[in-house]
Amino acid sequence: MNTQHEKETKRAYIAWLLITIFFGYQYILRSSPNVMYEVLRASFMFRAEEFATLGAIYLLAYALMQIPLGVLVDKIGVKKVVVSAILLCVLGAVLFATAQSFAALQLARLAIGIGSAPAFMCALKTIADHFPPGKRALLSGTTLMFGTAGALFSGKAILLFLREFDWREVTIVVALMGVVLCATVALLMREGARDKATLNHESAAGVGGTVLGVLRHRHIMLYAFLAVGLYTPLAAITDLWGAAFLTKRFLMSHEDAAGASLLMYLGLAMGSIVLPWWCEKYNRLDLGVIICTFAISILFAVLFYSNIENLSMVKLLLFSIGVLCGAEMMCFTGALLYSQRYNSGEIIGVVNTLNILGGAILQQVIGMLLDWQWTGAYDDKGVRYYSQEQFVNAMSIIAVLLVICCFASLFLLGGPHTRYRVKKV
């Protein structure tokens, strides 16, 4: 006969798995503009800065909802938030598929961004609240692996479907997948008593005070900033600019470039499990973050400025960057070591807000830098033309960010490389 503890553990695993599948689903919606770049451009004739808004609006909505949702999840529980979020993602996908104007596309991305916002947070909250520290890094990494695997395999599938079907029809199919997922979560996810209204803890009398406490905690903020440096460069390529950049930089076809950029997701799927697991097992989270930050900086410099001609080497380079970006999960793990049950959602919300907000700003800045360099040239389809040099110059903002993060990571030197921290928020 199962004990109450075993039932709670089983319930937690089921909840975590369903939320992780949702995280993978929202990644399909998130990365679709990168894969659909050519067909969207042909339909709406947008400029680089306008295209950048499809990524930036999503990420801004995602980021700005993190702290409010962190409080909401702590207050009403995970299930209600997840079901509502999936429905909003479905609504956004339908609006995207039926959009007749670029403004409607932007509104759809706003809805998808808000709907996607709770996925990662709810998965990490479930992990933080129900599993011991020794399992958190592996489960958190597995969550990110599911998400990136969803983007990787769905991206390739979308490319194949686009050969035979209109992009609007493909998006409707993705929306129907969300309907099935929503029904599954509503039927199978169960919450125990301790999952509900965790905000009623006596220490949560002032939610604003708790959030301010997180923002003032220098260790959490350092991990948050480093998470930005480890993840947003990858997001800028895989979510939005990868296909366009690789097409110019290495003279690939659009389909090959989109597929190559998605290899970063494959690397991230592996790195997000292996790196956090190894570093937490040997109590080397901080050292792992430092090494990965410097290594990513070097590999991006090679991608932007070297004379690579072998496309297999380019793909290996992209995959390797993805693996190292898995160290982002170590930053979340490090920040959550300072959490308690009643504020874990808020800590995740704060860290993820800064992480995603950084991605939104970076994607928009790249588009602005491209338009700033534009010389007035158009391609044979009447769309603005950007040269290889202009793309490299614009993407160099990533190199600047990574150099800053390398210096910031050195503040982790000499810190406690242990699983258990004593100064909690």
Q: What is the CATH number of the domain that holds 147?
A: 1.20.1250.20
Containing domain of residue 314, as a range?
A: 8-194+206-412
- Sign, CA dihedral 371-254-29-20, equals negative
Q: Residues of 74-99 as b/e, b for ≥16 C-beta within 10 angstroms?
A: bbebbbebbbebbebbbbbbbbbbeb
Check if the beta carbon of residue 204 is closer than 8 Å to that of residue 343. yes
| 152 in a structural domain | yes
| 200 in a structural domain | no
Q: How many domains does the chain have?
A: 1
Q: Kindly give, in sequence order, each residue whose CB lies less than 8 Å from that of residue 187, ignoring residues fewer than 6 positions away.
A: none
Give the whole-angstrom CA distance, residue 307 versus residue 83: 48
| 96 in a structural domain | yes
pLDDT < 70 stretches in the chain = 1-2, 5, 134, 191-210, 339-345, 414-425
Give the whole-angstrom CA distance, residue 198 versus residue 77: 8
Q: What is the pLDDT of residue 324?
A: 94
Rounded (10°) angle between helices 328-336 and 344-373: 150
**Residue 112 to residues 34, 119, 171, 345, Cα–Cα distance (Å):** 15, 12, 12, 21
Q: What is the pLDDT of residue 359?
A: 81
Give the whole-angstrom CA distance, residue 228 versus residue 224: 6
Check if the beta carbon of residue 119 is closer than 8 Å to that of residue 19. yes
| 2 in a structural domain | no
Q: Residues of 359-383 as b/e, b for ≥16 C-beta within 10 angstroms?
A: bbbbbbbbbebbbeebeeeeeeeee
| 419 in a structural domain | no
Query: Within 10 A of 118 (CB to CB), how many other CB atoms are there?
Result: 30
Q: What is the pLDDT of residue 192?
A: 59
| 201 in a structural domain | no
Q: Residues of 209-231 as b/e, b for ≥16 C-beta within 10 angstroms?
A: ebbebbeebebbbbbbbbbbbbb
Rounded (10°) angle between helices 37-44 and 242-250: 100
